[in-house]
Amino acid sequence: MESQQEFLFADGPAPQMHPPDPRSEFYNEVATVWQLPMGRMVRVDLKEHDLAALKGLLELSRAPDLPLDKRQPLVLRIEGVEFSSLQIAARAIV
């Protein structure tokens, strides 16, 4: 008799089994230190930038130096447009 293989039963299409992103813990730590909704859909109003506002997924454009220091400005991007965390005048999760 053959040994039974493990089965995964779920409604709907087959679930995607992806390993966790090893960077997610780092991104969560950056989000906590700078109190920014990293990886979320946001609207940001900018000062001293060519664009007054951006709407989209808030991402790191470059990783900050370690150890993390909230006094260090972050280089962020939304929809490919880079800006500094110091240029954020207001933000809201959308």
Per the domain annotation, does 82 fall within a domain? Answer: yes
pLDDT in the model for residue 26:
87
Per the domain annotation, does 16 fall within a domain? Answer: no
Per the domain annotation, does 15 fall within a domain? Answer: no
pLDDT in the model for residue 15:
64
Tell me the per-residue pLDDT of 9-58, one tens digit each, with 9 for 90 and over: 666 676 667 777 777 888 899 999 999 999 999 999 999 999 999 999 99
**Residue 72, Ramachandran bin (φ over 0: left; ψ between -120 and 50: alpha; else beta):** beta
pTM of the prediction? 0.74
Per the domain annotation, does 2 fall within a domain? Answer: no
pLDDT in the model for residue 21:
72
pLDDT in the model for residue 22:
74
pLDDT in the model for residue 73:
95
Q: How many domains does the chain have?
A: 1
pLDDT in the model for residue 19:
76
Per the domain annotation, does 55 fall within a domain? Answer: yes
- Domain residues for 42? 35-93
Per the domain annotation, does 54 fall within a domain? Answer: yes
Backbone angles phi, psi at 35, to 5 degrees: 55, 50
The secondary structure of 54-67 as a DSSP string is: EEEE-EEEEPPPSS
